[in-house]
Amino acid sequence: MEPGGLLDREPVIAAVGPESFAAAMAEQGARVTRVGWEPPPLDAHLERLWRDDVDAANRVAIERLLAAHPVLVDVRPAIEVVPGMRRGLVLHAGPPIEWPRMSGPLRGAVIGALLYEGMASTAEEAARLAGSGRIDFEPCHQHAAVGPMAGVTTASMPVFVVENRTDGNHAYSTLNEGLGKVLRYGAFASEVIERLRWFRDVLGLALGAAVRETGGVDARALIGQAVQMGDECHNRNRAASALVIKALAPALAGQDLPAAERHRILAFAGGNEHFFLNLGMAACKAACDAAHGVPRSSLVTAMARNGTDFGIRVSGLGERWFTAAAGSPVGLYFTGFGAEHANPDIGDSAITETAGIGGFAMAGAPAIVQFVGGTPADALRYTELMYEITLAESPAYRIPALGFRGTPTGIDARLVMQTGILPQINTGIAHRDPGVGQIGAGLVKPPRACFDAALHALASELPDD
Amino acid sequence: MEPGGLLDREPVIAAVGPESFAAAMAEQGARVTRVGWEPPPLDAHLERLWRDDVDAANRVAIERLLAAHPVLVDVRPAIEVVPGMRRGLVLHAGPPIEWPRMSGPLRGAVIGALLYEGMASTAEEAARLAGSGRIDFEPCHQHAAVGPMAGVTTASMPVFVVENRTDGNHAYSTLNEGLGKVLRYGAFASEVIERLRWFRDVLGLALGAAVRETGGVDARALIGQAVQMGDECHNRNRAASALVIKALAPALAGQDLPAAERHRILAFAGGNEHFFLNLGMAACKAACDAAHGVPRSSLVTAMARNGTDFGIRVSGLGERWFTAAAGSPVGLYFTGFGAEHANPDIGDSAITETAGIGGFAMAGAPAIVQFVGGTPADALRYTELMYEITLAESPAYRIPALGFRGTPTGIDARLVMQTGILPQINTGIAHRDPGVGQIGAGLVKPPRACFDAALHALASELPDD
């Protein structure tokens, strides 16, 4: 067969942008189709950020993000390892927030944590204490920690200790509780508190001993494998969870514990498809923190939500948060629930997207669409789109469906504003009332205003060209 | 843009087949391109097999294959469960073969098995016994069993017991030994024999107790998950192995064994990426046996190799094997080895392809191409091609990369001969000398002559139309 070649036919021109281009071609007799797309309105502050020193700063920051080598090295009580942790301090997901503005699930989790720590004996008492000014609330992110959903972390909770072997920094996250009634969705019933106490008294100690005996678990290698096994390590952690259990099972099985506890530990871990989630988040936090603090860099190093506000942090902008009202996820709800029951977006788990997995790796996790809505083709598109706003492709996390291309990694806030493409975040959906728990899962985007505010701050601090 | 429509241009005709078609169109002034493809030569026997009673028989057989529900229900010594197992009987992979015609790796495995069973005390003594006529050799497949590579199975070896919950039949396979010096590749050094004795004295008993306590492991569901996690469950079993370890770890950890043995059991299982392979093969065997024995059916129910011959069995042809010389795999060799060292194709593991996974599910396992050669696009093509020779798509095993399409399942020997497309088999490559072990992995196809002979036999037994 001899198909008609491109040059055998009269050309048809699609003109995008200034009318003068289209008019000039039309004058020469060409058939011109005018396409109604225009670049986003230019902003003097944004314009000012496209310069060599910002590019150079971003090269330093992205290199640190890509070079990070997070390894699980221990499990310890938070008070022993999390910087600044103290009794009376409650860490939470997202940007800073005080009790009066907290949403239902975060309040529920705070109440549960105070009950668990023995600082109150009833929910009412805990709520009064929380609002009394005698409890300090600070973001996990400011303590090298991250937590899914409410993210509440207190002194005696065991935490994964992840070391970035490249730069030596550490990051921390609590143990995942599984589904159903759990603290991170704001539940504080006695079964929730009992489970947390078993974490403290048995599971955390056993995991810590197993990790130390094993000599550490290479979280980067494990995520790399899981991304080739259909996980995006945010809403889907099936492979990563099985792999970390496989790695720790020998040491756990060999411990000097009653047979029933050995059994319970592995049954609990094996029964939780998200056992890996918090560990993966700590690995991502360790990588993002390594990239934080590069002057003039526009690399996004945190995206986090407290259930009321969405906040981002940017490498070159120190400890500041840039916040706006948290949006609502769009997704699939469990039977009996709908958007009217949903709390606004909550949790530190968007650290996965910040580090190049989660929603950014959906092309490798097509089965996830059965959980958050959409088709496998959508999953491919989400990842393809994220290459537009990222600075690099991960050498460690590669997607078979894209010919082993690395995941889009390292959000440049400038590219977000210039393209108008917002980061794609996978997330769970919490009921807006405390104590109910998860009611669905879906997709959500950050407010554009966070990026706009951050870029204005960055631009205003740049020296003159 | 307005692309030139198909009808706006002069048609160009590609003519395939009889010249009279092309000539007739050319006479009318059309531009005709003649394509040099012809259908395979027609065969009176093959023609005779395209009839309603064969179609109806195939519908019965494929329905049984698809409906099979294999569940791991126990691990027991072969002598207790494998039909017809006795001391002095050596089961082997592939079609029947006697000692004089056996290849190096099969001879090595037989020697190892006789040493392990205490029937000889040196390799020389074992070889003499094997050739003495006092040992019986029979195919695993004739005892509801399957074994990878040499497939040698003897009385005291523990075997996975898989029950097809739909039809009640059972299938069996030994435990996978891992890589390196192992019996299935023909090694018989003392470390090989010691490992087999630990299987018999510790691992088999522990796995059996764990499986019974767990109430069984749903192999169909597990394979279904693994196929969505990048395994094709033949050359890649990473996800399936981790999932079965996760399922059994609680019961294994809780057993009343010394701490060091509990540790060793889970370390051995976790250190073997192919821990699941033999279990998966038994699951496939249970499904294929259920489809075997339907009069007039041309469904292939076994493809197996003994290292010398390749053999197939067909549902409507009873216990007969149709054999031809085994080919050589094409693939990637470990450093220092090449095709000149390779034994001809060996093992029962092509039961996976017979049941619709393995090479037939490569589209879901693009990472496998790093191991057997090729590109992820090749992996997609292999699976696409297998739809041409199969009767159905699996409802249980679905491939995300194909929009969750079921794997091509149930080879119709008629379609193989009519299309000229041979089944695609993934395989390990054994050294041709006993005792060396695996030297690579690759792809292989069955000899066309097996299918030709089977169809001639089937055609000759059909009543007149």
What pLDDT tens digit does each residue of chain B (465 aa) get?
Answer: 344 455 566 666 766 666 776 777 677 777 777 665 555 555 777 888 999 999 999 999 999 999 999 999 999 999 999 999 999 999 999 999 999 999 999 999 999 999 999 999 999 999 999 999 999 999 999 999 999 999 999 999 999 999 999 999 999 999 999 988 999 999 999 999 999 999 999 999 999 999 999 999 999 999 999 999 999 999 999 999 999 999 999 999 999 999 999 999 999 999 999 999 999 999 999 999 999 999 999 999 999 999 999 999 999 999 999 999 999 999 999 999 999 999 999 999 999 999 999 999 999 998 888 777 788 888 999 999 999 999 999 999 999 989 899 999 999 999 999 999 999 999 999 999 987 888 999 999 999 999 999 999 999 999 886
Same domain, B235 and B100: yes
A239: in domain: yes
> Is residue B21 located within the same domain as residue B87?
no
Residues A367 and A324 in one domain: yes
Which of B17, B16, B55 is CA-nearest to residue B414?
A: B55
| B14 contacts on A by Cβ (under 8 Å) | 1
Task: Confirm whether B182 is domain-assigned.
Answer: yes
| Per-residue pLDDT reduced to its tens digit, A108-122 | 999 999 999 999 999
Cβ atoms of A331 and A440 within 8 Å: the answer is: yes
In a domain, A177, yes or no: yes
Q: In chain A, how many domains are there?
A: 3
Domain boundary among B281, B315, B350: B281
For residue A286, being part of any structural domain is answered with no
Q: Which domain holds residue A29?
A: 6-35
Which residues of chain B neighbour A241 with C-beta distances below 8 Å? 246
Q: Does residue B457 share a domain with residue B398?
A: yes
Q: What 8-state DSSP symbol labels residue A142?
A: G
Task: Report ipTM for this prediction.
Answer: 0.88
Point out the residue among A14, A239, A251 whose CB comes nearest to the CB of B229.
A239
In a domain, A366, yes or no: yes
Domain check: are B99 and B243 in the same one?
yes
In this complex, which of A14, A230, A247 lies closest to B229 when CB atoms are compared?
A230
At B329, give phi and psi (nearest 5°).
-65, 150
Distance CA B26, CA B29 (A): 5
A2: chain B residues, CB-CB within 8 Å: 12, 31, 33
Cβ neighbourhood burial of B401 (10 Å; 0-12, 13-18, 19+) = buried
Do B401 and B443 lie in one domain? The reply is yes
Of A247, A266, A401, the CB nearest to B250: A266
Nearest-angstrom CA–CA distance, B31 and B244: 61
Number of helices (H), then strands (E), belonging to chain A: the values are 17, 17
- A275 residue type, one letter: F
* Residue B410: closest CA among B60, B70, B62: B62
In a domain, B244, yes or no: yes
pLDDT above 80: residue A4: no
Q: Do both B109 and B159 map to the same domain?
A: yes
Residue B430 structure tokens: 């054994």
Non-local (6+) Cβ contacts of A461 within 8 A are none
Nearest to B258 by CA among A245, A255, A265, A206: A255
A299: nearest Cα among A290, A307, A291: A291
> Is B9 in Cβ contact with A1 (below 8 Å)?
no
- B94 with B11, same domain? no
Cβ atoms of B369 and B378 within 8 Å: the answer is yes
CATH number of the CATH domain containing B391: 3.90.1700.10
Q: Looking at residues A222-243, what average pLDDT do you find?
A: 97
Contact A247 B270 (CB under 8 A): yes
Q: Are residues A382 and A437 in the same domain?
A: yes
Question: CATH code at B126?
Answer: 3.90.1710.10
Same domain, A77 and A120: yes
Q: Which two tokens stand for residue B250?
A: 């609680």
State how far the Cα of B128 lies from the Cα of B124, in Å rounded to an integer.
6
Contacts (Cβ under 8 Å, ≥6 apart) of B189: B181, B435
Identity at B272, one-letter amino acid code: N
CB contact under 8 A, B1 and A12: yes
Asked whether residue B286 is assigned to any structural domain, the reply reads no
Closest CA to B107 of B73, B137, B85: B137
Q: Are B133 and B121 contacting, i.e. CB atoms less than 8 angstroms apart?
A: no
CB pairs under 8 A between A and B: 120
Instruction: Tell me, yes or no, whether A28 and A48 share the same domain.
Output: no
B contacts of A242 (beta carbons < 8 Å):
239, 242-243, 245-246
Rounded distance between C-alpha atoms, residue A356 and residue A425, angstroms? 11
Q: Give a yes or no: residue B287 inside a domain.
A: no
Are B31 and B111 within one domain?
no
Bridging pattern class, strands A70-77 and A217-218: antiparallel
